[in-house]
Amino acid sequence: MNIVLLDALTLGDCDLSEFQRLGELTVYQTTDATQVAERLVRQEVVITNKVIINEQHMLDNPQLKLICISATGTNNVDLIAAKKLDIEVKNVSGYSTESVAQSTFSLLFQLLHQSRYYDQYISEQKWCNSPVFTHIERPFFELKGKRWGIIGYGEIGQRVGELANAFGCELCYYSTSGINTEQAIPQVSLEALMSDCDIISIHAPLNDATKNLVGEAQLALLKAGAVIMNLGRGGIIDELAMVDALETKYFFHATDVLAVEPMVKNHPYLSLSENASHRLVVTPHTAWASNEARRLLIKKVADNIRESI
């Protein structure tokens, strides 16, 4: 069986031997849109994370039996065409719950404790010249008793809630689908969550219901000093509205995702004033990618292939 992995670079330095045991494996670190067609020739199984597989690719490759998406989202594959042409499509879920939940708190603490500022304070040897034993130019608050609102209360959102509860936070959530209504913590409207919560974390997929869910009107509701974090998908937050809000209001924002990835060179987040930039943390879509999560992802993709051959 011929297997092609189109974007191995998205998996980092993972051991691919599980795939090699399943067939003749061809690995490409990256694949652009002009290279997809030629790289699918004679392949029966394709593994893709973000490379787009469209109907024409499928029509040109009648030998193709299985498309494995090495992620949860399936928007990079034409599912309607695959069904029509009897090509199985399998994604992977549940592999990154612990990684994303942990990353949520990593981002929170970077903002909350202003780690970047204090690390620079030390590296510039300013503490050496301090007249007192401590330096608390940028104070922080404790999590206990703070209200934490979760947008998207699926598996990851619920795990974040468990950890936040351990810190003594009061929890509530907003269901982006409107279906998830039977939970142990209070369900609230988006407006109530945005206005009442000290900490807000987003763990929702990007779809018609969530695109630009958080924009100018919602950001205007934030409490002074609130923290809002996006660990879901880029596009859920209106980034231009976020820039304007960071410049005019006092709150903190962290995001692991952007509407366009990789980040464009002239992204407005890179042009924030000094007053606003220290209240923003951006990471390059790494929250899902702990070593353990990536190993589990490889295993689940391999299991998907085994189940189909």
User: Is 278 tagged catalytic?
Assistant: no
pLDDT tier, 95 (very low <50, low <70, confident <90, very high otherwise) = very high
Q: To the nearest whole number, what is the mean pLDDT of the chain? A: 96
Q: What is the per-residue pLDDT across 232-259, written as a single tens digit (0 to 9) for each? A: 999 999 999 999 999 999 999 999 999 9
**pLDDT value at position 182?**
83
**pLDDT value at position 115?**
95
**pLDDT value at position 91?**
97
**pLDDT value at position 180?**
86
Q: Which residues pair with 3 in a beta bridge?
A: 25, 45
Order of strands across the sheet that contains 170-174: 170-174, 147-151, 199-202, 227-230, 252-255, 280-282
**CATH tag, 2-95+291-308:** 3.40.50.720
What is the SS3 assignment for 4-71?
Answer: EECCHHHHCCCCCHHHHCCCEEEECCCCCCCCHHHHHCCCCEEEECCCCECHHHHHCCCCCCEEEECC
Q: How far is Cα 265 from Cα 90, in angstroms, rounded to an integer?
A: 34
Q: How far is Cα 234 from Cα 50, in angstroms, rounded to an integer?
A: 14
Check 247, 261, 292, 307 and give the catalytic one: 261
**CATH tag, 97-282:** 3.40.50.720
**pLDDT value at position 246?**
98
Mean pLDDT along residues 85-89? 97
**pLDDT value at position 176?**
94
Q: What is the per-residue pLDDT across 105-140, written as a single tens digit (0 to 9) for each? A: 999 999 999 999 999 999 999 999 999 999 999 999
Check 57, 233, 253, 279 and give the catalytic one: 233
User: Is 203 tagged catalytic?
Assistant: no
Q: Which residue has the tokens 């990536």?
A: 294
| pLDDT above 90 for 54 | yes
pLDDT tier, 77 (very low <50, low <70, confident <90, very high otherwise) = very high
Q: Which residues pair with 47 in a beta bridge?
A: 5, 68
Report percent pLDDT > 70 for the chain. Answer: 100
The token pair that represents 197 in the structure block: 């919560």
Domain with CATH 3.40.50.720 in the chain: 2-95+291-308, 97-282
| pLDDT above 90 for 264 | yes
Check 113, 147, 278, 285 and give the catalytic one: 285
Q: What is the per-residue pLDDT across 142-189, written as a single tens digit (0 to 9) for each? A: 999 999 999 999 999 999 999 999 999 999 999 999 888 889 999 999
Q: What is the per-residue pLDDT across 267-293, written as a single tens digit (0 to 9) for each? A: 999 999 999 999 999 999 999 999 999
Mean pLDDT along residues 12-36? 96
Mean pLDDT along residues 71-96? 95
Mean pLDDT along residues 95-111? 97
Let me know: does 75 contact 50? Beta carbons within 8 Å: no
User: Is 233 tagged catalytic?
Assistant: yes
